[in-house]
Amino acid sequence: MGKTYVKKVMSPEQLLSEYPLPEAHKQLKAQRDEEIKKVFTGESDKFLVIIGPCSADNEDSVCDYIGRLAKVQDKVKDKILIIPRIYTNKPRTTGEGYKGIVHQPDPEKAPDLAEGLIAMRKMHLRSIAETHLFAADEMLYPENWPYLSDILSYVAIGARSVENQQHRLTASGIDIPCGMKNPTSGTYSIMLNSCIAAQGSHTFMYRGWEVKTDGNPYAHTILRGAVNKHDQSKPNYHYEDMIRLAEMYSKLNLKNPACIVDANHSNSNKCYYEQPRIVYEVLHNRNVSDEIKKLVKGVMIESYIEPGNQKIGDGVYGKSITDPCLGWDESEKLIYNIADRL
């Protein structure tokens, strides 16, 4: 046989029962979700800053980082809504390397998905309890969504998943904003087709059930740059890119046209230190074009306590073990500068 069944993991229902979201936090989440949704509908002119580590690899340092974000959020709450990134599944281009806390609750030990699900859930619940902020994660595996469905306020579909039918249909049954990244090729129509699919109603098979979804009116686009046939990064955060996206949106019957700009990945050519410059250009474009201001609802930034990245086992607290990130000092300054430029 090509695979071995190692051990059965608990169901989403079991995990949520053993590690429940307290009732008081459910009410806080409902309030926060409503605030975020109003940004996408245009009822609120606040700006979204989706920020945090490339991968959430350690509960203590991740919660420490989000605690710092919470203090900044209180100071910029009139202009900005901060959504912390707690990315618990890490896509790997070749399949090799650290795949996130769900796979390896301890990056230096062997994979253990049963314990990984618990570690993921406990980290989210601790972050919520300490900060009252509700996080974003990437939907790398659609079947994992029920393990997180009650605690996330934002979900993204990655560049390598956005064409996948199961991702699109699962997104159509989600009741929070869901961002569809442009594929690595950069093709806008694929990204927009994903929004059309996610906003529609569908019947399909999911986790052993025939299910019917209502459609997600908050499905939107994320510009993250592209890679050409020569493996060169091609950014798509410039004025002309946003105008082009706005024009394509205008020809479609999509609800709540919106875009988030990812300041890292192919937009920065993975030069993490370029993220502030890219964010400032996005803000400038919003300030000179009402069309872009209406379309671009926020930015996505990779940031941690220490700048750069490290190898697994190096042991630097709060430093990424996957893609390099902005450090805390630069990140704090960036958020305040965003607020000043809105």
What pLDDT was estimated at residue 1?
59
- Per-residue model confidence (pLDDT) at position 220: 98
Q: Write down the pLDDT at residue 6.
A: 85
Return the residue matching tokens 């996330």. Answer: 152
Instruction: Kindly tell me the sign of the dihedral angle through the C-alpha atoms of 298, 300, 305, 306.
Output: negative
Q: How far apart are CA 59 and CA 253, in angstroms?
A: 42
Q: What pLDDT score was predicted for residue 93?
A: 74
> Token pair 């961002």 is at which residue?
179
Give the per-residue pLDDT at 86: 97
Q: Could you give the CA distance from residue 307 to residue 251 in angstroms, rounded to a whole number?
A: 42
Using a cut of 0.85, tell me whether the model's pTM lies above it.
yes
| pLDDT value at residue 8 | 87
Nearest alpha-carbon partner for 89 in 43, 158, 162, 8: 158
Residue 271 and residue 263 in contact, taking contact as beta carbons nearer than 8 Å: no
Q: How high is the mean pLDDT in each 10-residue block of the chain (342 residues)?
A: 84 96 98 98 98 96 98 98 94 80 92 93 98 97 94 96 96 98 96 98 96 98 95 96 98 97 95 97 98 98 97 96 96 98 97
